[in-house]
Structures are given as structure tokens and as C-alpha cells.
Amino acid sequence: MSSQYNLTSNEKNVLIALENLKDASPDELADKSEMKTETSMQAAFLLEEKGLAQVDETITEIFELTDEGKKYAQEGLPERQIIDAISGPTSMDELKDKFNPAVAGIATGWLRRKGWAGIEKGMIVPTSNAEKGEDEKILEAFAGEAKTFEELGADKKVINDLIKRKLVVKTENKKRKICITSEGKELVVAGITVEEEVAQLTSELLKSGEWKEKKFRPYNIHTAPRPIYGAKIHPYQRLIDEMRRIFLDMGFTEIKGEAVQSSFWNFDSLFQPQDHPAREMQDTFHLSSRSELPLEYKDKVCAVHENGGETGSTGWGGKWSEDIACRNVLRTHTTSLTIKYLADNPEAPVKAFSIDRAYRRETIDPTHTPEFEQLEGVVMDKDMSFSNLLGCLAEFYYRMGFEDIRFRPGYFPYTEPSVEPEVYVDGLGWVELGGAGVFRKEVTAPLGIKYPVLAWGLGVSRLAMLKLGLKDLRQLYHSDIDWLRKSEVCQL
Ligand SMILES: N[C@@H](Cc1ccccc1)C(=O)O
């Protein structure tokens, strides 16, 4: 009969021990079954799953005096010490002289709260005969020991006040009681034979041939094993690596650069007017440091801004200020890296990308953080066209697993035409993922670039949110251990 339950010898021992125990404590059970407490409890839990035993847990709240509580239990609460010591109006200074200033300080608040004294013109004036309060009775009731609520005969509110005063602490005491169920009893009555079981086949057993006589503990293939969380790369980093791989596979070179950039490279070289709202204090992290302007480009960039230079454009008009262009900022987009790279490498062809952090003064909310990653890229070559740009982006998103892609017209001061790529996500609809376009000649000409430049800057964290099914961007940066453990390395 017992075979139907597939009991281990430990479980059998515990079951037999339980037959004559009533509401056993873990120690009693360990004693009776002649096993370690931990092993016998483990067996008891397994028996409970099989309906043969029952483990009840009760949690008792235990209260204890803190060191300060013990002191006041002996000497009296500060307000008691003081009210007993004064007979008429007394000044605070006098109290502080006579008593420890901390005691005097604590006492005055409580004297008023308890209605034992008032404060008039800076004097403490006793107003009642200060009968012994519930809190004082409880402090006495402890008699220096840890006690339960019932033993103290306490009122919840009074105990809580003492806890708030840090005179009493609460701990929880877990007690377990184990008993046999009627099914368990039936099983024992029907007879259980405890045989020695072998849990592991060893080379000794094999060599000696002993294995033939041994009884092996059967595997229970129905219990779920404890999950093992192996070390793994952060899911966000994994996605970033995947994006990097895609561009490397497409023949792009990765570029890196400084987080601190001059306004010149972050804005001016990209034909962003100096009064553009994105350059305002509330949108950009401005730094107090400055950079030298690159001599070979600064006059040409100046001319393009003021009157279009030799590009045929009218420029933005007004006076371009070197002083503004020198000011350093935390790069607001990684386009500052690609434009500088193009200036340093003006010969075609160029295929470069960067995945890195950008900084904007955003108020933090589920879809905005002041630091975020961008995936930036440029292609410069003879005969490059707008369709090459769309093809390149479509290929990237396709490789990331998005099949429905569309492009909406967009606007950036440095590109013409400009688009905003969007991908379709079930349940969310079309989601905007960044910006792209063909650099204007106002951008390329001052840097000596002769061929068309396709450029894009895509939101990496947005894409990660979609891929990881997150509703809050901040989760990417939180390192919530539970989420990290459960995140899947590959989706089945
Ligand atoms: N820099 C733009 C994106 C962009 C890059 C390159 C070309 C066009 C647009 C942004 O941060 O939103």
C-alpha cells in the first residue's frame, strides 16, 4: 500500500514517529525519528504534499524592551522623573541643569501630551496629579523579559506608542507543529517497512556487485526542481550587443567619442541655429567648461549660419557667436559623434555607427530618462539616395525582428528630406523609433564632404522596451534582481 506514495526512508521514519506524537514540535519530531531537525522537517513537508501529514505554522508576536526601555522601566519615563521632581513652575534651564538635557527635552513634549503639565512663558507648570499611565504599567509588566501581547495585557495603541518611542521592539516568533493525517495513520497501521535506500549509484557499488541487492530510491519526476538562475548578460546589454552585431555584419565601423562635446559639434556643425529651443537650459545639460573651435571649419560654419556661405542657402541670418559655439554640453545626441567622424574622414565611402549614451534634461517618467542610448549611423558615398536610407533602416529593423516598418515625414534642421521610422507592434500600434534623413548641404559643405550622407539616430531603449515587453523604461536601469533572474536569454 505504501508504494503508491513512493515514500523515501526518511519520510517513512517520520511517518512512523508521528503516529504516536500529537502536535509535535520540530525538535520532538527530530528526537522521536532519530533524525536531524532539518532532515525530519524536510520529510514532514514532503509528507504534507502527499496528504499524509500536516504542518501548522503559527506566528506569535513577541515584545521586548530596548536598552532605553529597560532604563526607563527602572528609573521611570522622562516625564515621570520630571513631574515627580518639580512642585511648581520650573524653567527649562533649571530642568536641564538637574536632568540630562535629553531627558528634559523628551519629557516636555510628553508632559504636555499627557496633560501633566503646561508651558507658560517658558516655564513648565504642573497641572495634574499625573496618575500612572497604561504605558508605565506595561513597562513594569515586562519585568525585564520578552512577552506576548496577552501576557502584557496590553492595549494595541499603547504598545504601538512605546514602539514609536523606541522603548519596545516587536519580533515575530514562528512555531511549527506537525501531526499525522488520517490517511497517514492508515498507512502506518497497514504496515510500513523501512529499508535502507540507496540514493546514489557509486563506483564501489558497481565494482562490488552490491548494487544487485540494494534498493534504490526512485526518482520523483513530477516535482519541479528548484530553478537555477545562471549568470547572464543584462537583457539590455544583450540587445545592444545584438544591434551592434547587425551593423558590424552590414559592414559598418563602430565609432566612439566623448560624452562632453562643444556646442559646435553638438549643434552648430549640424546647422542648428543658435537660438534653437533644443539649446535652451531646460533641454540641455550645459557645462561651465569650453572647447577650442576647429580652425579649419569654424569660419565656414559661421558663414553657413549667417548667410549660407557658398551653399546657395540663405542661412539663418543674424550674427553667429563663437562664444556660444565654444560652450561645452553633455551631448544631446550621438549625431555629434558621427558628424565629427565625417569631418575627420571626408573621403567616400564611409559607413559608420555608434551605440552610446546621450543626455537631455528630461523629467523622469515611465518613458523618459535624462540618460538614454542612441543608435547612430551614417553612410556616405557617391550616388547614395533617400531610398538607400530607407532600405538600410528597414533591413536593420527586419533583422531585429520587426517586419512592419513605415516612414513618416519628419523635420530636423540638419536633414532634408527627413523621416521618422516607425514599427508596428501588436497591441501598441505604430511606435516611433527615432529620426533619419539625408544631411543638408549646409551641414556637409563646410566640412568638405562632397557626396550624399544618409544619417539616422534611433532610440535604443524604446526598442528594448518593445523587445523586452516593458512598460517602464526605468526598469532597464534598475537592475531588479528578480526581473534579471527571470529574463529569458532566448525566446522560445
Ligand atoms: N539626432 C536626432 C536623430 C537624427 C539623427 C540623424 C539624422 C536625423 C535625425 C535625434 O536625436 O532625435
Residues 240-250 pLDDT 10s: 999 999 999 99
Query: Could you tell me the distance, in angstroms and rounded to a whole number, from the CA of residue 199 to the centre of ligand 1?
Result: 64
CA 392 to chain centre: 35
DSSP state of 223: S
How many other C-beta atoms lie within 10 A of the C-beta of residue 491?
A: 6
Q: Binding site annotation covers 376?
A: yes
Cell numbers 571626408 correspond to 346
pLDDT of the residue at 127: 87
**Paired sense of beta strands 215-216 and 197-198, if any:** parallel
421 lines ligand 1 (CB under 6 A): no
pLDDT of the residue at 491: 61
447 lines ligand 1 (CB under 6 A): no
Q: What is the pLDDT along the chain (492 residues), one digit of tens a residue?
A: 555 677 888 898 899 999 888 888 999 899 988 999 999 999 999 999 999 999 999 888 899 999 999 999 999 999 999 898 888 888 888 888 888 887 888 888 899 999 999 888 878 898 888 889 999 999 998 888 888 888 888 788 999 999 999 999 998 888 899 999 998 888 888 888 777 778 889 999 999 999 998 888 777 788 788 888 888 999 999 999 999 999 999 999 999 999 999 999 999 999 999 998 888 877 999 999 999 999 999 999 999 999 999 999 999 999 999 999 999 999 999 999 999 999 999 999 999 999 999 999 999 988 889 999 999 999 999 999 999 999 999 999 999 999 899 999 999 999 999 999 999 888 888 988 999 999 999 999 999 999 999 999 999 998 998 888 888 889 999 888 999 998 888 765
- SS3 state of residue 80: helix
CA 261/CA 285 separation, integer angstroms: 11
Query: Which residue segments constitute the domains of the chain, with CATH numbers given?
Result: 237-486 (3.30.930.10)
Kindly report the backbone phi and psi dihedral angles of residue 38, in degrees, each rounded to the nearest multiple of 5, phi listed first.
-65, -45
Positive or negative, the CA dihedral 162, 167, 171, 173 is negative
Query: Could you tell me the distance, in angstroms and rounded to a whole number, from the CA of residue 440 to the centre of ligand 1?
Result: 13
- Residue 386 contacts residue 455 (beta carbons within 8 Å): no
pLDDT of the residue at 411: 95
Count Cα neighbours of 216 within 13 Å in the Cβ-side half-sphere: 10
Could you tell which of 271, 332, 333 is best to mutate to test the pocket of ligand 1, judged by most ligand atoms within 8 Å of the CB? 333
412 lines ligand 1 (CB under 6 A): yes
Give the global pTM.
Answer: 0.62
pLDDT per residue over 195-221, tens digit each? 777 888 999 999 999 999 888 877 778
- 379 CB contacts (<8 Å, ≥6 apart)? 349, 350, 351, 388, 389, 392, 453, 454
pLDDT of the residue at 438: 98
CA 343/CA 255 separation, integer angstroms: 13
Q: Taking each helix axis from N to C terminus, what angle separates 101-113 and 78-85, rounded to the nearest 10 degrees?
A: 90
- Residue 80 contacts residue 136 (beta carbons within 8 Å): yes
Measure CA of the first residue to CA of the last residue in the chain; give whole Å.
Answer: 42
Query: Could you tell me the distance, in angstroms and rounded to a whole number, from the CA of residue 283 to the centre of ligand 1?
Result: 15
Report helix, strand and coil shares of the chain as percent, to nearest 5.
Answer: 40, 25, 35
- 341 CB contacts (<8 Å, ≥6 apart)? 255, 257, 350, 352, 378
333 lines ligand 1 (CB under 6 A): yes
- Residue 86 contacts residue 127 (beta carbons within 8 Å): no
455 lines ligand 1 (CB under 6 A): yes
* ipTM of the modeled complex: 0.97
